[in-house]
């Protein structure tokens, strides 16, 4: 689960540690990265999972310095799902097209997307503040697949605002290692109350070719280890 705009110790959210509270209620592990902090108040991104995971890297993304600019962060975790290592990048990009362009260049030019075409499955999730017709979206789509577009028979749905969904700005991008099994943009009253963005639920499966490759690699290294699934 990739979350953005997560508050920790902020008066506007009753001083709650939202990442810890949600993870505790769902019985998940979590990592939180503060993109912004003033004394005890923090605001940023979080990843929650029932699978074993390790926080690999966090960073602040570049800012344009214009009036809409604010601190933005990115985090990368590695999850072990049924023996397969999966990388997940969670981020929240800026409001201006100029700033988003700088931030996408940073993501594509660094280690965040490295080896995306090798046997290292990768997910990019987040409030990317970009519409599908934007240049920044097309940059990312040149490396990863938009889950809403990749799902056969699915009509891509808007995610913002939750009250009147008009823009598709929240995205899940996946590497070619995955098949998209199902996509759902939740529109319940609870979803509309919880956030000004609608949540995207994406179900994925690893392609058989990757599982076979993983099993061959494991047998070569450790003949008696369990197989991938």
Q: Which long-range contacts (CB under 8 A, 24 or more apart) does 159-168 make?
A: 159/185, 159/197, 159/198, 159/200, 160/196, 160/197, 160/198, 161/196, 161/197, 162/191, 162/192, 162/195, 162/196, 162/197, 162/198, 163/192, 163/196, 165/198, 167/131, 168/131, 168/132
pLDDT of residue 110: 77
In a domain, 229, yes or no: no
Q: Is the pTM of this model over 0.85?
A: yes
Portion of the chain with pLDDT greater than 90, in percent? 84
pLDDT of residue 219: 53
In a domain, 163, yes or no: yes
Average pLDDT along the chain? 91
If pLDDT is split at 50, 70 and 90, which confidence band does 226 have? very low
pLDDT of residue 157: 98
| 119-159 confidence digits (pLDDT tens) | 789 999 999 999 999 999 999 999 999 999 999 999 999 99
CATH of the domain at 211: 3.60.10.10
Judge whether residue 47 has pLDDT over 90. yes
If pLDDT is split at 50, 70 and 90, which confidence band does 165 have? very high
User: Which comes out higher in pLDDT, residue 191 or 216?
Assistant: 191
pLDDT of residue 215: 55
In a domain, 71, yes or no: yes
User: Which comes out higher in pLDDT, residue 229 or 126?
Assistant: 126
In a domain, 160, yes or no: yes
| 80-103 confidence digits (pLDDT tens) | 999 999 999 999 999 999 999 999
Euclidean distance between CA atoms 120 and 115, whole angstroms? 7
In a domain, 15, yes or no: yes
Which residue, 146, 158, 161, 148, is CA-closest to 196?
161
pLDDT of residue 208: 78
Domain count, the chain: 1
pLDDT of residue 223: 47
In a domain, 87, yes or no: yes
Pairing label, strands 2-8, 41-49:
antiparallel
In a domain, 135, yes or no: yes
In a domain, 228, yes or no: no
State the residue range of the domain holding 52.
2-221
Q: With residue 200 as reference, give the H or E element that holds it.
A: strand 200-206
């Amino acid at each position: 689960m990739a979350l953005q705009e997560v508050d920790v110790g902020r008066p506007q959210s009753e001083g709650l540690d939202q990442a810890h509270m949600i993870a505790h209620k769902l019985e998940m592990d979590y990592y939180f990265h503060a993109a912004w902090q003033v004394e005890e108040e923090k605001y940023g991104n979080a990843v929650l999972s029932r699978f074993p995971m390790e926080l690999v890297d966090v960073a602040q993304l570049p800012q344009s310095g214009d009036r809409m600019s604010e601190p933005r962060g990115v985090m990368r975790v590695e999850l072990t799902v049924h023996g397969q290592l999966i990388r997940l990048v969670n981020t929240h990009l800026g409001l201006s097209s100029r700033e988003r362009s700088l931030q996408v260049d940073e993501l594509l030019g660094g280690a965040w997307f490295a080896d995306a075409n090798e046997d290292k499955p990768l997910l990019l999730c987040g409030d990317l503040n970009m519409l599908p017709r934007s240049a920044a979206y097309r940059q990312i789509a040149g490396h990863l697949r938009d889950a809403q577009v990749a799902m056969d028979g699915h009509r891509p749905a808007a995610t913002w605002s939750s009250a009147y969904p008009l823009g598709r700005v929240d995205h899940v991008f996946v590497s070619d290692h995955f098949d998209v099994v199902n996509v759902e943009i939740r529109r319940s009253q609870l979803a509309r109350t919880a956030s000004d963005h609608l949540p995207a639920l994406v179900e994925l499966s690893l392609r058989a070719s990757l599982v076979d490759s993983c099993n061959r690699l494991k047998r070569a290294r450790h003949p008696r280890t369990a197989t991938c699934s």
